[in-house]
Amino acid sequence: MTGPSEFRVDPDVDLHVPADRRELAAHPVAVLGVIAAGGVLGALARAGLQAAFPHEPTGFPWATFGINLGGCLLIGALMAVLTARPPGPLVRPFLGVGVLGGFTTFSTYAVDTQRAIAAGAPGTALAYLAATLAGALLAVWAGDAVAGRLLARARVGAVR
């Protein structure tokens, strides 16, 4: 059971959560180190997928689209698990801030949209803009819902 002080909006770091407030002072090198390491892993995975599935400036950026939706699905599931079963102090910084934060990207999304408009494909730009927004929100909700259901089932199983 988490009290109102555990209310979290930001999965990267939320200073309304006491543990988040303390973590940097408690383990500065470890926290920043695992975020950097996770960020490297996430970014390399993203770069690999983008290199494997390149797109023209007027084309739909399928690789980045899939990366961002996949990362949103996983952050929903990850935060549901971490909220239900509080882990060690470096798990959220490594997996959430580092790996998933480094894997997903907003800047490439914004610039690819802008480039598609500049390249004379406003229809593709608008479709990409809207599909990523709708897909990302649906994905984070689905990740949270599925993980929440599995956790509830595990609890029932443990009681039996």
Partner 1 sequence: MTVLLIALGAALGAPLRYLTDRAVQARDDSPFPWGTLTVNVAGSLLLGAVAAVPASPAVTALVGTGFCGALTTWSTLSYETLRLHREGARGHALANALGSLAAGLTAATVGYALAGAVTG
Which residues does the annotation place in the binding site for Na(+)? 101, 104
Burial 119-133 (b: 16+ CB within 10 A, else e): eebeebbeebbeebe
Nearer to partner 1, 1 or 158 (CB): 1
Residues contributing to the annotated binding site: 101, 104
- 3-class SS letters over 30-55: HHHHHHHHHHHHHHHHHHHHHHHCCC
Residues lying near partner 1 in the complex (CB under 8 A) are found at: 7-16, 24, 31-32, 35-40, 42-44, 46-47, 50, 68, 71-72, 74-76, 79, 93, 96-98, 100-111, 113-115, 118, 129, 132-133, 136-137, 139-141, 144
Nearer to partner 1, 51 or 158 (CB): 51
Distance CA 107, CA 66 (A): 15
- CB of residue 159 to partner 1, shortest distance in Å: 26
